[in-house]
Amino acid sequence: MSPALEDFRVESGAGRTHLSARVLFQGQSPVVVVSGGEAHIGAVALVEPVAREDTAEHAGVRRATVSLLVRTGHREDELAAVAARRISTASGEPAVVCAGIHLDAITTEEIDQVRRNMETLTDLILERLQQ
């Protein structure tokens, strides 16, 4: 049995577009809760890694299947799915990302910054998982 992994937090950005993520573990599988602005549950992505062994050309190639739950009127599904896919594919473990980010009267520039901050959060999580 593998040793238990320690929970941790990462943050990215500043001001209104600041995001934080709490990373917990169910066994070896990461469960990530991302919050920004007014925290809530907007979307949940579950990703299952699948190793392709169907041909010699694909032997060892990792891919993943994504399942999404999205609350009506919420748009965090793409952020959650991309992050969960990256984390699952890199770790070889199932991964869950729950995202809830709400900014009143968000601008196009702030949406772009939230996306960049989410990418940075995911990079930070992957760095910690590789340690």
Task: Classify residue 93: in a domain, yes or no.
Answer: yes
More confident residue, 63 or 116: 116
Residue 37 counted as domain residue: yes
Give the domain extent around 106: 8-121
Could you tell me if residue 29 is inside a domain?
A: yes
pLDDT tens per residue across span 85-102: 999 999 999 999 999 999
For 17-62, how does the pLDDT look when each residue is reduced to its tens digit (9 = 90+)? 999 999 999 999 999 999 999 999 999 999 998 876 655 555 566 6
Kindly write down the DSSP assignment for every residue of the chain, as one continuous string. Answer: -PPPPPPEEEEE--GGG-EEEEEEEETTEEEEEEEEES----EEEEEEEEEE-SSGGGTTEEEEEEEEEE-TT---HHHHHHHHHHHHHHHTS-EEEEEEEE-TT--HHHHHHHHHHHHHHHHHHHHHHH-
**Confidence bin at 1 (pLDDT 50/70/90):** very low
End-to-end CA distance of the chain: 19
pTM: 0.89
The residues pairing with 131 across neighbouring beta strands, listed in sequence order, are none
Structural domains counted in the chain: 1
What tokens does 117 get? 């901050």
Per-residue model confidence (pLDDT) at position 9: 98
CATH number at residue 103: 3.30.230
Average pLDDT, the chain: 91
